[in-house]
Structure 1
């Protein structure tokens, strides 16, 4: 098995702690903010919420198993995902596809670093889609740290859809409250740019790895 256990699903979504919530989108109010290099990012302003929501998608020229294997490889993920300084697996159940992980983010000065405890559920539906739903939780096993702000409002999802033996559609959407004092303009800039940058890097990195179904947790086989 890979040295990974799920953190990368969350890391791609969060990177600077400004993303994601599993919100039902009113697609008529979405704005297509980025559409280049085969990657699309939509943003949406929700009433009474200063932070924008987003939805992003792209198509990768690889197998769904290879794409998922890359996403699950936290050791590799930490080498190419900016701002992430620590990923720890707190609990996991491969058969059930459930996990609890801790992630720490290095925010630029003068902002405080952020961290997050996430409970996730992975599944494979009858259409063969691989789905991950994540939620921020409180966990007594992960106490608060000095000078690090804990993100407590976060939900997000990922969906991987097999298009052919060598093509997979990757979709993600959501929202998070990064907590503390961060300019809304700073946050919303990352809401647009971060999904694009991460999917762009994923397109390149998936060419350098080779994972199979044997590398995946049993819940996804």
Structure 2
């Protein structure tokens, strides 16, 4: 998959990476290069049009940044939840994902998904196995949670791909009304292998925001005609 990509794509990636640290102001991004304090969230994007905000944080003892993002989706809780677990269609909204599938449904609240992620040459593509756990909505809690962790040993490694060793994040859905949901996401990813820090930090900056915008658009447009194998609600809002 990595042998026939056009050179112009690599150049575009490099250009975007440079732009990400030199032109934030023109795109409502917030320059976080001045912030050197660890364990403090620094806003890196404030998209007023999409009503999405994103932050990053330098974790103590880690060379890579954590990410946090929040926004509002104009759709129902169920539609957004079903899109989040629709692993066979992650290619439609997950950042640079070109192959995805559901591997195993363990229970109505537990599953494994597989993804392949496109990375411009000369960096090898990544693949990952995500273990997802659903915490259904209850009136007492007032929200629904999805917790994801990388399970790199769930499948044998694949030649020419680097298995992502660490990807931990959670998603929290809070209903505002019948047609609007607050979305909060926080996590950390280590893509493994040898990747320049600037490239990793660029991907951590771009991937959550881009994936979130795509997720919202799909959830707002799609309709599901068949029952879901997953349980999202112990009680309805």
Q: For the superposition of Structure 1 and Structure 2, which TM-score range results when normalised by the shorter chain? A: 0.7 to 0.9
Structure 2 residue 76 is matched with structure 1 residue 66 = no
Q: 2:42 aligns with which of 14, 31, 52?
A: 31
Q: Whose Rg is larger?
A: 2
Unaligned runs of 5+ in 2: 1-36
TM-score normalised by length of structure 1: 0.78
Superposed CA deviations along residues 58-82 of structure 1, whole A, max 9, x for unmatched, are 0111111121122233344323434
The Cα shift of 1:39 comes to 0.3
Give the paired residue count.
193
Q: Distance in 2 between matches of 1:196 and 1:103?
A: 18
The Cα shift of 1:208 comes to 1.6
Most deviating of 38-47 and 126-135: 126-135
Conservation of the 8 A alpha-carbon contact between 1:34 and 1:42: yes
Structure 2 residue 157 is matched with structure 1 residue 124 = no
Instruction: Name the SS for the 1:160 alignment partner.
Output: strand
Unaligned runs of 5+ in 1: 1-25
The Cα shift of 1:125 comes to 4.1
Counterparts of residues 107-186 of structure 1 (less than 5 Å):
107-126=119-138, 127-139=141-153, 142-186=155-199
Q: 1:86 aligns with which of 82, 94, 99?
A: 99
Conservation of the 8 A alpha-carbon contact between 1:65 and 1:211: no
Higher relative contact order (CA 8 A, sep 6+): 1
Instruction: Name the SS for the 1:203 alignment partner.
Output: helix
Q: Distance in 2 between matches of 1:120 and 1:130?
A: 13
Instruction: Name the SS for the 2:201 alignment partner.
Output: helix
Q: Distance in 2 between matches of 1:200 and 1:128?
A: 24
TM-score normalised by length of structure 2: 0.73
Match of 2:111 in 1: 99
Aligned pair in 2 of structure 1 residues 184, 27: CA closer, same or farther (>3 Å)?
Answer: closer
The Cα shift of 1:27 comes to 11
Counterparts of residues 2-21 of structure 1 (less than 5 Å):
none
Root-mean-square deviation (CA), in Å?
Answer: 2.4
